[in-house]
Amino acid sequence: MKIQTQSLERTVIEKRDKALIRSACKGDHLAFEKLLRLYENRVRILGLSFFKNEIDTDDFIQEVFIKVYKNLSSFKGESLFSTWLMRIAYNTAINAINRRKEYLSLSEDFELVDLDFGPEEQELRKHTKAAIQAAMGELPDRYKACLDLYFFYDMSHKEISSVLDLPINTIKSHIFRAKKILRKN
């Protein structure tokens, strides 16, 4: 039943996003603003995981949504809009980090709360996040990126593959190896 509900929710979200994208591409600024409001928190959390401060994160969000606005007509709908958006956001963050030559992982100063989960699951996720963060310092950057998207954004292997532009088996391997390192620690 849960899988059917998730599938139905995904279909509804996909249809909503496609309708908003069509409207935004026709010049409806309110439709684009609605997309921005729907996904700004996801982009903000990703920004905070890289930059750890509000000023740089706000600049990052603005840069991401400018890129999305300029390229919205190129969205083909082959993946979910959220996957396409997160790929733009991730690449923008990586480019910014490469310019700075530093990488910061998930901040301990913010909480990732997903209202789709009940209080027990949120509490479990909070403790899982804390445990993973404590050990993530030992991981290579490529493993950190996969785990961030897998655990904290609930992305599938396929979605992570699309965001990071890596083969699915590489994603699976990175996650497997990262978990192995975390178990050791």
Q: How far apart are the first and last CA of the chain?
A: 37
CA–CA separation, 137 and 146 (whole Å): 14
10-residue stretch averages of pLDDT, the chain, 185 residues long: 69 91 94 95 88 88 95 90 93 82 44 59 76 74 83 84 89 91 80
**What per-residue confidence (pLDDT) applies to 171?**
93
CA–CA separation, 12 and 167 (whole Å): 28
Domain of 185, in residue numbers = 110-185
Domain presence at residue 127? yes
The pTM of this model reads 0.62
* Amino acid making up residue 149: L
- Number of compact structural domains in the chain: 1
**What per-residue confidence (pLDDT) applies to 108?**
41
**What per-residue confidence (pLDDT) applies to 119?**
77
- Residues 6+ away with beta carbon under 8 Å from 60: 43, 47, 50, 51, 89, 92, 93, 96
Domain presence at residue 158? yes
**What per-residue confidence (pLDDT) applies to 101?**
53
Domain presence at residue 97? no
Domain presence at residue 2? no
Longest dimension (CA), the chain: 53
Domain presence at residue 50? no
Give the CATH number for residue 134. 1.10.10.10
